[in-house]
Chains A and B, each alone.
Chain A
Amino acid sequence: MFKSGIFNIFLTLLIQIKGDDFKEEIFIKPLPPSHLYVDFHFITLVNGEESFEHSYLAPRSLGEIMSRYQVDELHLTLTEGQWKHNQWGYPVLDAAPGAELYAWFNTDVIDVDIQWKKLSSTLSGLFCASLNFIETFNTITPKMSLWPTGAQKPKQNYTSQLRYASLPREIVCTENLTPWKKLLPCESTHGFSSLLNSRMIHNTNYHSIGVHVRRMCVDNNCLETNLEIKQTVALVYDFKIINSMDWSFRKLFGQGLPGACPLSSSSKIYVDTTSNSTYRFKLTPEPNLILLSQRGGSETELAVYNINNSIMMNIVAKYETKSKLFVNIPPPLSFTRYVLGYGKEFGGIVTELTNNYWAPIDVVLLENAPWWLPIQLSSLRVNGEAESKLILSQYYSPGRSRQKPYHLELLLHLPPKSTTTLTIDFEFVFLKWQEYPPDANHGFYIGSALISANLPTAKNYTSLPITGNTFDSIVNASKPWYPMVFRTNGAMVSLPTPDFSMPYNVICLACTVVALAFGPLNNICTKELVLKAPGTSISLRQKILNMFKKKKD
């Protein structure tokens, strides 16, 4: 105990000198009546150092990727399940189902596409995910919906350095979580990350692991920048699965919290107790601190636990009333997406955006249809109108089969208290038989649409302000608007399939029909008609000639 204490002090000192800083946080928010949102944040701040020849707390593997491929900002999420914005409000960071990767490359990079391919392949190896399936045909460059969150040099064209791809079919499992945990300074032996055991966290309604890397200013002058590596895990537990409304660390993670990571400068647990006024629950042990935050017209109460020892602890919440009717107040902006049509010939995608707020909201909607789902821009209708005044700006890049996806971005003006419905038609494509994935009749996943909005109110808003990196920063962080990038739900279509057992038969039959034309036409063109008695014997000379003819064939 003593030895390890000295070791810790020594290590902490070393790190203080170096300037690397590691923080861990858990944010817990009950989503009454039926769910619980748990969000882990592990933040590593790296001072200065560009090349990552030496690294202290930051994972060298990730740092090397950033410096080798000259990536300025990187966001990778691996998600299973669908966040229900209508019921659960907004998450800290939204993620698309499956794998999602986007990155800004340094403005010095000339051939971004090559670096992008290298980056995705390397990350694929690092996280054991199928990111190597990111090709030009599923990559887009969003023009309006995504902006870098980190420090940027002024007057540089960042949009052209951005690449975005999502793989909605990707299944997220233990093999992605293990390498992810290896990037943490304490790995999974100490600290909050020891709670993340895959048996429990894959038993949730929604789980999303992510890595977000960006450059942050050291001070307001921004002459120096830090590299911020943020690793996140978002989990949504269903009370039905854990069998009661009362939750505890032991129930959620299968074990208590063994204490803080010795390398961390701060380890805090925040429990959102705002819903305590309607759904009373009691936290044990008592929190160290109660924070009251007023932000953009909403009040939040946070119970804070400061963990700085390594004593096993278990935070428990006990609800007083079990059966109570719950009125769901929808968030300011909500949306759904679904596929129209029957049969496998023509269809349509509908995106419904609802503005529940009393003021208009401007949003950017990014529709990203794969090449095998050709959308027709001429069929775009906003509330049934072809030329709508709600579209303020539009960008469209048509897709090309096997080369480029269809990419549509719309800047929309959503009037207050209204629902805006966008429909766009598509035609099903008939693929080659070898292009179908295994189990072709399972269906094809369509990725989520991105909705990027500057919300005028912070109702249901839990994200950190753009300059903050810990949960402290949300306290009283009122701003004129609150930026957020949402992902709608994905969809699935069933493409028409050929008969996979037929290639030889089809090739033979089609060639036979061609031969049916060739044979007679050849005869007509090369031979002449003669009269011949059926019984007459052919002359010897003719017989020999015929034999030669046959041999020649």
Chain B
Amino acid sequence: MALILKYFVAGLVRYWLIHTDYWQTISNRVEIATPLNSWKRLIEGIYLYDHGIDPYEGDSFHESPIVLVFFHFMLKKVPYLLPLIFTLMDILTAHILYKTSKAFVLILEESQEKIKQNIAKESKTMLLNKSQLNEAPDYVLSVYLFNPYSVLNCVGMTSTVIQNLLVSVSLWGAASGQRLLACTFIALATHQALYPILLVVPISILLANVNKGCNKCSYNRTLLIFVLCWSFLIYISAYIMNGSYSYFYNTYGFILTVPDLKPNIGLFWYFFTEMFEHFRLLFVCAFQINALALYVVPLTLRFHKEPVLLATVLIALSTIFRSYPCVGDVGFYLAFLPLWKHLFTFMQQKFIVGCAFIITSVLGPTVWHLWIYSGSANANFFFGVTLSFATAQIFLITDLLFAYIKREFTLKHGSSRQIDGKPAKLVLR
């Protein structure tokens, strides 16, 4: 009953906000709408498509052709239902996250069972009990439903709403062992925004763990299905655009080469505004490798026993370092944090990170207004805010990982920080 009430209230808030006069302002905010996901650009693309002009000829539309035809159909048939559709999609995302986290909790419980023998006697109390585990999904649901970031993202009617839905479905599919579902949806998400390709790794680990048997065959099968799905989507998109692959430049090319330097909450815009032209290619490559490839292998090797944590961290890192991030992405990975509630006691920078989130969220729109509308501030102010927002997110993620390895250590060696009765310190070696 409480669950239905939550869904209802969250849906009502979203639906109501879309119908207020503030909708226009919200859907145009730089923090919410980027050139990649904004509703305005989607409308422009559909308008051009409807008038027989190739939307990928120009520079205004960057969604995949599949999204284009979907919304073209929707706008033709049921334009009045679109706010409702966006609200329902976001509620559905929340519900799937709820189900996913229930599956994740089972996985956590299982992995806890495995290490039970190696746990120090005095740390037995730290093990998670049933009630602790069971309340996590409720928190995940509440965080996604009532997080202002996700609410604003849905109200802005950005295509990130769809992307969140696709990613959550594929994670749910992975956690419940449905390989085809997981692969199809992660391929859809990849086709839309490229960065979810990182999640193929945790998904294949999850699938291998859930469907017991030959691990290697499972990885191969997952990878194969993903590649097949993805190529099929690429082919279908070209088919929609009458066999032309020119949409590639406007979707993947746009994400990778960062030609539009409109400010957002990420690190790319000001960096490449101020970049010297002959170093541009080098730094574009460096930043994209940082976002796409750098952390996958080391993190996978270190946390392959905890695919859920790996998934959380990879989603978060790709959000922080992607070329056009928005608050909708942030809201999505924040929803996974309650799964790691038991790590919070080991985290050291909770207060700093929390304060930084609140302060930057307030300061961001303020300095944006000062820069763009009053003309009394300049670009550096907004850049400073986005920089500290990124720093706060990075602290959050690294702190979470440190907390995890500290807990791991404590479980194994007990909570006393002493060597031969003398006080000692935990250090990395």
Contacts and interface: CB of A to CB of B under 8 A. Distances in A.
Do A and B belong to a common assembly?
yes
Interface of A: 342-346, 371, 374, 376-379, 394, 396-402, 406, 429-434, 496-499, 502-503, 506-507, 509-510, 513-514, 516-518, 520-534, 536
A521 B406 contact: no
B143 to A, nearest CB: 23
B221 interface: no
B273 A432 contact: yes
A527 B427 CA distance: 9
7 contacts: A378-B46, A406-B58, A433-B274, A513-B387, A517-B320, A532-B424, A534-B423
Contacts of A400: 57-59
Contacts of A434: 276-277
A531 B44 contact: no
B321 A531 contact: no
Contacts of B53: 377, 396-398
Nearest to B394: A517
State the main secondary structure of chain B at its contact with A: helix
B372 A343 contact: yes
A527 B290 CA distance: 20
Contacts of B271: 506-507, 510
Given A503-B276, A514-B267, A531-B425, A431 B261 contact: yes
Given A432-B261, A432-B277, A514 B371 contact: no
Q: Which A-B residue pairs are the 5 nearest by beta carbons?
A: A398-B58, A378-B47, A525-B298, A520-B398, A343-B373
Interface string B357-399: 0000000000000011100001110010001001100110110
Nearest to A530: B429
Contact of B317 (A374, A517, A525, A533): A517
A401 B417 contact: no
Interface of B: 28, 40, 43-44, 46-48, 51, 53, 55, 57-60, 259-263, 267, 269-277, 287, 290, 294-295, 298-299, 301-302, 317, 320-321, 371-373, 378-380, 383, 387, 390-391, 394-395, 397-398, 401-402, 405-406, 408-409, 413, 417-419, 422-429
Given A398-B59, A432-B273, A517 B43 contact: no
Nearest to A425: B40
B274 A503 contact: yes
Contact of B48 (A374, A377, A527): A377
Given A374-B60, A430-B260, 20 more contacts: A342-B373, A345-B28, A345-B372, A345-B373, A397-B57, A398-B55, A398-B58, A400-B57, A433-B273, A496-B379, A498-B379, A509-B387, A513-B390, A517-B321, A521-B398, A524-B302, A524-B401, A526-B298, A530-B426, A531-B424
A521 B401 contact: yes
A430 B419 contact: no
A176 to B, nearest CB: 31
B266 to A, nearest CB: 10
A377 B44 contact: yes
Q: Which of A434, A510, A524, A528 has the most CB of B within 10 A?
A: A510
A235 to B, nearest CB: 39
B319 to A, nearest CB: 12
Given A371-B59, A521-B298, A498 B274 contact: yes
B91 to A, nearest CB: 28
Nearest to A526: B298
Interface of chain A, helix or strand or loop or mixed? mixed
A219 B285 CA distance: 66
B263 A430 contact: yes
A497 B379 contact: yes
Contacts of A518: 290, 294
A498 B262 CA distance: 11
Of B55, B263, B270, which is in contact with the most chain A CB atoms at under 10 Å from its CB? B270
B380 A502 contact: yes
Given A376-B44, A510-B271, A522-B298, A528 B428 contact: yes
A525 B299 contact: yes
A399 B58 contact: yes
A521 B405 contact: no
Nearest to A516: B394
A430 B424 CA distance: 54
A522 B394 CA distance: 13
B260 to A, nearest CB: 7
A513 B270 contact: no
A348 to B, nearest CB: 13
A520 B402 contact: yes
Contact of A529 (B43, B287, B299, B405): B405
Q: Which of A394, A433, A513, A525 has the most chain B CB atoms inside 10 A of its CB?
A: A513
Given A503-B276, A513-B391, A530-B429, A401 B267 contact: no
B269 A430 contact: yes
A506 B270 contact: yes
B290 A514 contact: yes
Contact of B59 (A342, A399, A430, A524): A399
Contact of A432 (B267, B275, B427): B275
Contacts of A526: 298
Nearest to B313: A521
A378 B401 contact: no
A527 B429 contact: yes
B169 to A, nearest CB: 28
B274 A430 contact: no
B427 A529 contact: yes
Contact of A376 (B60, B269, B409, B422): B60
Contacts of B409: 529
Given A506-B383, A517-B317, A534 B57 contact: no
Contact of A524 (B55, B272, B398): B398
B262 A510 contact: no
